Amino acid sequence: MSAEETQQRHSDDRLRASARRNSMTTEETVERRSDDQLRATARRNNESFEVRNQRQAPDRLRTLNSRATESNEQCTWKPESNRI
């Protein structure tokens, strides 16, 4: 691939990425940004995105479980505090 073709490809990729991001919800944008960061890190480490994602999945589950536990503890109804 020539330098001109490479430059055109990068330009096309940026336009497609911009169009995709413009039609995303906030949640999709955050998720996309996270995935982009993982891909960039994986490239730097010469690892595939899938390999990196599989390794980080348990960490994400721990984080989600921790947040759910905290949320449940804050929302737990205590009958003795509502007595008249």
Q: Is residue 84 part of a domain?
A: no
* Side-chain-facing half-sphere of 24: CA atoms under 13 Å: 14
Residue 84 has pLDDT above 60, yes or no: no
Q: Is residue 11 part of a domain?
A: yes
**How many domains in the chain?**
1
Q: Report how far residue 35's alpha carbon sits from residue 51's, in angstroms, rounded to the nearest whole number.
A: 13
Q: Is residue 45 part of a domain?
A: yes
- pTM attached to this predicted model: 0.30
Q: Is residue 18 part of a domain?
A: yes
- Alpha-carbon 78 to chain mean position: 36
| pLDDT at residue 79, rounded to an integer | 60
Q: Is residue 27 part of a domain?
A: yes
DSSP 35-53: HHHHHHHHHHTT--HHHHH
* pLDDT tens per residue, range 26-79: 787 788 888 888 888 877 777 677 877 887 888 888 888 888 888 777 776 666
Residues of the domain holding 22? 3-78
